[in-house]
Chain A
Amino acid sequence: MGVSHADARACGPLELLVIQPTPFCNLDCSYCYLPDRLNKKRMSLEVLERVFQRVFESDIVDGPFTVVWHAGEPMVLPPAFYRAAFDLAERANRRRIPVTHSFQTNGTLLDEEWCDLIKENDLRVGVSVDGPAFLNDRHRKTRRGAGTHERVMAGVAQLQRNQVPFHVITVLTDEALDYPDEIYAFYVAHGIDDVGFNIEEIEGPNERSSLSAAGAEARYRRFMSRFFDLATFGNLRMRVREFESTLASIMHDGADDVPRTQENTPLVILSVNSDGDFSSFSPELLGLSSAAYGDFLLGNVATVSLRQAVDTAGFRKLAGDISAGVDRCRLTCEYFGFCGGGAPVNKYSENGSFDSTETLFCRLNRKVLVDVILDKLEHGVPPKACDGSSGPGARAASPGSV
């Protein structure tokens, strides 16, 4: 549910805290939405301490949440940084709220020391790889334009040798849509059974998507249908985030008559950059520039509490416009019950306004997937085969692959 102009205090509870330890990334993937990837500044421990203090003192934390270290390659900072970070989080967490720390990494910097840190702290790890080398290396490159597949898979092998569980995020571009079997075969060959598919989104500096091309939607539908069959009935059963979450949205039987989404509700997601500036709603808004919305920043942890941040005209405008877009979706879209109103950053990036409706992202990542899963159910595939999770929006929103 969105927040109206009148009720800016309907915020949280916090489910996802996205922290940008550094904007820097050692890779230069062509479709990346992050705007400042060459900037090597890093979050100081003082700022980090203030982040955790602000979060735990606020009234938006009343249950478990996940901290995602992201929005730059988190592993360019050493494990020692994170040991100190986890210690700061624990000291601020007086109510002993369960907190899961999660890394979304390009995998190129994984080594034994990282594996030790991951195991000691029970971290969740997501590795970004776009399937076999011939697909991965088209877009996921070093700054010199070289492919990265070999290095990523060395990182994956490192995790597997250390028996560290992980999931994979694969970005689908137009070229990938011809290759569901090859992508599945790649996962099977490397023992990868927990995957998520991001689409190449129009966001930030990525102003075009190959998936906007004529015919791409139909091909995406065929890809997803085929991959569903492979993942469900193939040699290696796979957990696919998109199928799980879509089935959950179809089977949702919550008390409310509309599903809620993390990205549309203020302070369910809190994103903090390396300077301590913070935003909410879609994590990808952090770092985008906007004259109308003050670069989407709600404040800085040094000077502003989370509650103070939402009690401003700037926040009310942002929240009100996002809420208006959700209302517009509710009135016009037959898929609203499976979706809850779309992702604000995609509306802003594609349509130029939060107060808008359909996007490429929602056509592919919501509508097509709902159609595919419904088709499978109608053809007799039992819901259990789709392995749904506990409800729509229950999985943490993916801020995109690194």
Chain B
Amino acid sequence: MQLRAGFTFTVAARFYSDRSWVERLEINGGVQSNLEGVFPRQDWRRLTSGERAILVAEEPRSGSAAALAPAEVSVFTVPEHLRDGWWVVAEDVGSPEGNAAEYERFVVATLEFLNFKALPLPERCRFDLVARAPGQDATRIDDAGRRLGVSPDSRSGSHDRLVAAINLGDELSHLTVLNLGLREMRAMLDESSAEARAIDETSRLFFSDFPTYPLVRVGLAPCEGLWLPESAIVWHGDTRGKQEPDIVLLIRAEQLPLCASTA
């Protein structure tokens, strides 16, 4: 099946990357299902020029006015001295209090950097440092402890949208995404707005009806991150082919519960 227009990939405004999209992006032949869910097929290949034209947006922009477009998946890079800050935390095996203080310093420094770069941080966000062993075919786990396949970032009933993921490890990390948003999936499923389903169900139907729609795998070098669109994205993580643990900082938007008590 052919790629369709949906989310586009770009280097975030006010950032620079010297890695080419040819190196960075791969696509496959879709998904395969098992009892646990749908998982990416492992027949990854380089993009054709036509596929690159569908997926990749124009050159990075600079200056204060440049902003991320709503339907963009943007690559950005944190400086090495920030990543070093994480490893100070990781290597501090002293008291939990000392470790927590270092972690907070690291998070604050990262926030200051992202703010300077005018990335659209949500009003409240949470930083989760996720470490996964190499060789796993899925890194996402649901609340019941089961492996999650290719699925939306917003868990049903939860509002913590995945904003960004940053590779703090020493090796390449991969994120696999569906380049279509909810609207594009519904269009392909020929759903009217009256039938609108939640994204969880829509993505299940989509993969059932279109199992050969290609997924896009994004390679992130150490210090590289991916800034995701505000609309929910369907994605997957794995540590196949890695020798070292996968260390990824996930930034999630947090929303206060509707009836939050301030007492």
Residues of A whose CB lies within 8 Å of any CB of B are 133-134, 174-175, 178-182, 184-185, 188-189, 215, 218-219, 222, 226, 229-230, 234-235
Contact = CB atoms under 8 A, between A and B. Distances in A.
Contacts of B62: 174-175, 178
Contacts of A133: 18
Interface string B94-122: 00000000000000000011001100000
A218 B64 CA distance: 9
A179 B113 CA distance: 10
Contacts of A185: 79-81
A119 to B, nearest CB: 31
Nearest to B16: A134
Nearest to B14: A178
A382 to B, nearest CB: 20
Given A234-B81, A235-B81, A181 B63 contact: no
Contact of A179 (B16, B81, B84): B16
A181 B79 contact: yes
B123 to A, nearest CB: 21
B65 interface: yes
A218 B62 CA distance: 14
Contacts of A181: 79, 81-82, 113, 116
Contacts of A235: 81, 84
A134 B18 contact: yes
Contacts of B14: 178-179
Contacts of A226: 116
Given A134-B16, A175-B62, A222 B116 contact: yes
Contacts of B113: 181
A188 B80 contact: yes
A188 B62 CA distance: 24
A147 to B, nearest CB: 12
Given A181-B113, A185-B81, A215-B63, 5 more contacts: A179-B14, A182-B79, A188-B80, A189-B80, A235-B84
A143 B48 CA distance: 36
Contact of A178 (B63, B80, B81, B82): B63
A215 B84 contact: no
Q: In the complex, which range does the number of interface residues on chain B fall in? A: 10 to 19
Contacts, number: 42
A107 B116 CA distance: 32
Interface of B: 14-16, 18, 62-65, 79-82, 84, 112-113, 116-117
B64 A182 contact: no
A175 B59 CA distance: 14
B50 to A, nearest CB: 28
A175 B117 CA distance: 13
A232 to B, nearest CB: 13
Nearest to B88: A235
A164 to B, nearest CB: 26
Nearest to B81: A235
Contacts of A134: 16, 18
Contacts of B82: 181
Contact of B63 (A174, A179, A182, A229): A174
A184 B79 contact: yes
A-B interface, 9 closest residue pairs, ranked by CB to CB distance from nearest: A178-B14, A181-B79, A185-B79, A134-B16, A235-B81, A185-B80, A178-B62, A215-B64, A226-B116
B81 A188 contact: yes
Contacts of B80: 185, 188-189
A223 B46 CA distance: 38
Nearest to A182: B79
Nearest to B80: A185
Contact of A215 (B18, B65, B117): B65
Nearest to B116: A226
Contacts of A218: 64
A219 B62 CA distance: 11
Contact of B81 (A174, A184, A215, A219): A184
A215 B118 CA distance: 15
Given A218-B64, A235-B84, A178 B79 contact: no
Contacts of B81: 181, 184-185, 188, 230, 234-235
A218 B65 CA distance: 12
Contacts of A215: 63-65
Contacts of B117: 178
A180 B112 CA distance: 12
Contacts of A179: 14, 16
B60 to A, nearest CB: 10
A333 to B, nearest CB: 27
Contacts of B63: 174, 178, 215, 219
B100 to A, nearest CB: 20
B62 to A, nearest CB: 5
A219 to B, nearest CB: 6
Contacts of B112: 229
Contacts of A174: 62-63
13 contacts: A178-B14, A178-B15, A178-B63, A179-B16, A181-B79, A181-B82, A181-B113, A182-B16, A184-B79, A185-B79, A188-B80, A215-B65, A234-B81
A52 B14 CA distance: 49
Contacts of A189: 80
